[in-house]
């Protein structure tokens, strides 16, 4: 049922034993809080900070990787695939969920959420970071889009406007957490290739793209992803690779 909202009072999400859930108030950003806790050392691997907001489904997970940052940042597409699998499992069958590189979640052609990433403190590509934080946020309530009328801004949407009125914050956070753990397990055992393939199946990249990177703006036609999750662009008659690390500022906030 499109556009309807679940009750404002709902149960707290329940997590697998590998995760320790910690709630923050609706007005607090769980990604920011997770980064602060990871930096201070009060949060460590497996701590999951989630928001009590009922207009968004938002959470962030602290990890302590044993690989270099250049590989650890692959948790961005791992999380995106987890979001896609979660909504595929509990969402309506007609929901067209797609990904825009490096971290945007699309629903029926409009942005509805994003994945965030931080390495703490800031590390170089060949360093093994002490901690990383990977978060996601999905917009549920269309009133939070800033629209005067639902659908006025076709670039942005809310899941309740896309037939997901039977879902709530708790269901989504629980489902994404489970799928993310499964995604990490698969990544550890099978490498990045299955993540690459699952991500590309949902890619919204059949178009020109413009990226604002630290080194300047890059424009081109999307060709695909490389074996590490970097974006391949055809620009000026040549194919250029933009690595996930080069786009780190676009998912780091």
DSSP secondary structure string, 166-188?
T--HHHHHHHHHHHHHHHHHHHH
> What's the pLDDT score for residue 77?
97
Q: What is the pLDDT of residue 154?
A: 54
Residue 113 has pLDDT above 80, yes or no: yes
Question: Averaged over 171-190, what is the pLDDT?
Answer: 98
Residue 183: pLDDT over 60: yes
| Close Cβ partners of 218 (under 8 Å, ≥ 6 residues apart) | 210, 211, 233, 235, 240, 242
Mean pLDDT, the chain, integer: 90
Rg of the chain taking only CA atoms, in angstroms: 18
The arithmetic mean of pLDDT across residues 118-135, rounded, is: 92
Average pLDDT rounded to a whole number, residues 3-23:
81
Q: pLDDT over 70 for what percent of the chain? A: 91
- pLDDT, residue 2, reads 45
Lowest mean pLDDT among 71-75, 109-113, 146-150: 146-150
Average pLDDT score over residue span 218-246: 90
Average pLDDT for 242-246:
91
Whether residue 7 has pLDDT greater than 70:
no
- Reported confidence tier of residue 214, pLDDT bands at 50, 70, 90: confident
pLDDT of residue 184: 98
Q: Are 245 and 125 in contact (CB under 8 A)?
A: yes
Tell me the mean pLDDT in the region 142-156. 60
Q: What is the pLDDT of residue 191?
A: 97
Cα 125 from chain centre: 21
Grade residue 215 by pLDDT with cuts at 50, 70 and 90. Answer: confident
* Cα–Cα distances in angstroms (integers) from residue 35 to residues 59, 79, 174, in the given order: 12, 17, 21
> Global pTM?
0.91
Q: Which range, of 1-10, 49-58, 219-228, averages the lowest pLDDT?
A: 1-10
Indicate the SS3 state at residue 22. Answer: strand
Q: How many helices (H) and strands (E) does the chain have?
A: 6, 11
pLDDT at 152 over 60: no
| Rounded Cα–Cα distance for residues 104 and 97 (Å) | 11
Tens of pLDDT, residue by residue over 52-78, are: 999 999 999 999 999 999 999 999 999
């Amino acid at each position: 049922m499109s556009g309807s909202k679940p009750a404002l009072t709902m149960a707290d999400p329940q997590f697998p034993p590998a995760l320790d859930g910690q709630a923050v108030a609706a007005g607090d950003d769980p990604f920011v809080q997770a980064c602060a806790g990871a930096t201070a050392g009060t949060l460590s691997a497996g701590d999951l900070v989630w928001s009590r907001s009922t207009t968004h489904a938002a959470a962030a997970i602290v990890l302590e990787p044993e690989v270099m940052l250049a590989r650890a940042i692959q948790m961005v597409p791992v999380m995106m695939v987890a979001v896609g699998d979660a909504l595929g499992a509990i969402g309506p069958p007609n929901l067209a969920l797609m990904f825009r590189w490096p971290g945007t979640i699309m629903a029926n052609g409009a942005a509805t959420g994003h994945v965030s990433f931080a390495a703490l403190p800031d590390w170089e590509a060949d360093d093994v970071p002490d901690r990383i934080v990977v978060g996601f946020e999905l917009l549920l309530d269309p009133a939070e889009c800033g629209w005067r009328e639902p659908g006025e801004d076709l670039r942005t949407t809310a899941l309740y406007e896309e037939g997901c009125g039977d879902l709530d914050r708790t269901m989504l956070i629980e489902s994404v957490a489970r799928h993310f753990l499964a995604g990490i397990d698969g990544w550890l055992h099978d490498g990045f290739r299955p993540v690459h393939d699952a991500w590309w199946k949902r890619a919204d990249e059949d178009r020109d793209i413009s990226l604002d990177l630290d080194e300047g703006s890059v424009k081109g036609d999307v060709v695909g992803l490389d074996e590490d999750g970097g974006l391949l662009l055809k620009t000026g008659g040549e194919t250029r690779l933009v690595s996930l690390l080069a786009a780190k500022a676009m998912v780091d906030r």
